[in-house]
């Protein structure tokens, strides 16, 4: 059982849901990334996603794309990201997972990536551009290592295909709340609750919802049907302020924002 499996088993037994923030590695630098992860863990976040910057992300909106561009402009390297996460992971109780393009995994070597990530204390990987038809090899590698492979299901995914994706995933299923790209939104689709309810009847895996979630009202609406909620752009936008404001203030703002969402789960 992976530490992600253990996390969701414990939360389910306690009748609680997971809050899962996303940050971009290396924006504005890896030192601040480490500080943000420790701040979020200290506030009680249950799992943190760390985006590996990529020049051509398939579903990220302008806020996260801009953060990737800033990090890549500073020549952030995968080896340095893993080294930084290897320093953070032993100091927090919050599991870390990477959001990583399949192109990066292929270039690095899937088995090597999983081994090095696991050695750094990372619990799993979200691979947003991994086709289910091409997931067999990576899924087998991850299962042997007890390393969670988290895949995405969208509102436009045909139901038979959604079943295949859930069967090849481990840890949890990432359900994309909206058709389109990441980013803060004032409203979420009317059919979201129905779609997640159907998926829950098909799989025992935890279902975590991401894309567009940014307010306590979103949390109150979705937490009854989800096992976890993922918030990215709203946090990455606050991190971007570290280039103009004192970093201590930015860290406090991020922590207070995370705290406001955590409070909405109760």
Long-range contacts for 220-223 (Cβ within 8 Å, ≥24 apart)? Answer: 220/264, 221/188, 221/193, 222/177, 222/188, 222/192, 222/193, 223/17, 223/264, 223/265
Determine the CATH number of domain 3-264: 3.20.20.70
Q: For the chain, which residues score pLDDT lower than 50?
A: 180-186
* Cβ neighbours around 144 below 10 Å, total: 10
Predicted local distance difference test score (pLDDT) of residue 265? 87
Predicted local distance difference test score (pLDDT) of residue 59? 59
Predicted local distance difference test score (pLDDT) of residue 161? 95
Give pLDDT tens digits for 206-255.
999 998 788 999 899 888 889 999 998 999 999 999 878 999 999 999 99
* Residues designated as active site: 49, 60
What global pTM score does this model have? Answer: 0.93
Domain boundaries, the chain: 3-264
């Amino acid at each position: 059982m992976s530490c992600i499996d253990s996390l969701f088993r414990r939360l389910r037994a306690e009748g609680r849901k997971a809050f899962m923030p996303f940050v971009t590695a290396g924006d504005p630098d890896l030192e601040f990334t480490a500080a943000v992860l420790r701040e979020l863990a200290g506030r009680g976040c249950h799992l943190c996603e760390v985006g590996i910057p990529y020049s051509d992300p398939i579903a990220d909106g302008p806020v996260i794309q801009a953060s990737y561009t800033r990090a890549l402009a500073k020549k952030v390297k995968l080896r340095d990201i893993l080294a930084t996460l290897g320093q953070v992971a032993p100091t927090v109780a919050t599991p870390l997972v990477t959001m990583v393009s399949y192109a990066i995994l292929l270039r690095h070597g899937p088995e090597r990536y999983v081994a090095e990530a696991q050695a750094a204390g990372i619990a799993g990987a979200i691979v947003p551009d991994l086709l289910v038809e091409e997931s067999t090899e990576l899924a087998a590698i991850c299962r042997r290592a007890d390393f969670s492979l988290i895949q995405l299901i969208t509102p436009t995914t045909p139901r038979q295909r959604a079943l295949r994706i859930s069967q090849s995933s481990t840890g949890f299923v990432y359900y994309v709340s909206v058709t389109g790209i990441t980013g803060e939104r004032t409203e979420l689709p009317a059919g979201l609750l129905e779609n997640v309810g159907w998926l829950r009847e098909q799989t025992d895996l935890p279902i975590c919802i991401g894309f567009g979630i940014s307010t306590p009202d979103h949390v109150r609406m979705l937490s009854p049907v989800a096992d976890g909620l993922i918030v990215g752009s709203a946090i990455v936008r606050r991190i971007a302020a570290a280039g103009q404001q004192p970093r201590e203030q930015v860290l406090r703002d991020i922590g207070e924002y995370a705290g406001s969402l955590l409070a909405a789960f109760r």
